[in-house]
Copies of this chain bind each other. A is one copy, B any other.
Amino acid sequence: MEIERTLREITDRQAITDLIHAYCERFDRNDPDGVAELFTPDAVIDYNPDTPNILGADMASTIAVGLRDLFAASSHHVSNVMITLEGEDEARSLCYIDAWHRYRDGSPDGFLWGRYLNRYRRTADGWRITQLLLQGAGTIDFHRERMHGIGRA
């Protein structure tokens, strides 16, 4: 039925948007286990071109050290969320990220303006992230020298 299909698409968009927001909220509260729960075990996370991609199954242990030792605080502000549903059980999104970081070692605060390109799959436990690619439009005093670009012409 057309109405039910439209309603399911709207609630799927809401669930996927909530997933992006949960990622930021748990990251900023230094909750690596909570972050990892949002990904499938086979998810591929690509934060930058200079460190190996992270598998969903290894997410918690991989990011735990940085969350604890690198950042004294962070705040990941997501906006411009554009979701494309692909069939009934898959989706992808492009959203903007404006991220502020305070470092434990007293370095100047780090700023990143960029994008998350994500993919999602509906699982028995609800929508999960299967792929995350971080692109940087630009940074100031950020702890990474190089970022994947946004493909600006």
Contacts and interface: CB of A to CB of B under 8 A. Distances in A.
Interface stretch (A23-31, A43-51, A52-60, A120-128): A23-31
Given A113-B100, A137-B73, A137-B75, A150 B80 contact: no
Interface residues of A, number: 42
A114 B24 CA distance: 12
Interface in A60-101: 73-82, 94, 96, 98, 100
B29 A80 contact: no
Contact of A7 (B6, B14, B75, B81): B6
Contact of A77 (B74, B79, B151, B153): B79
A25 B151 CA distance: 11
Interface of A: 3-4, 6-7, 10-11, 13-14, 18, 21-22, 24-25, 28-31, 73-82, 94, 96, 98, 100, 102, 109, 113-114, 137-138, 140, 150-153
24 contacts: A6-B11, A7-B7, A21-B80, A21-B82, A22-B82, A25-B94, A28-B137, A28-B150, A29-B151, A30-B152, A73-B137, A75-B96, A75-B113, A75-B114, A75-B137, A75-B138, A76-B80, A77-B77, A77-B79, A77-B80, A77-B96, A77-B113, A98-B98, A109-B138
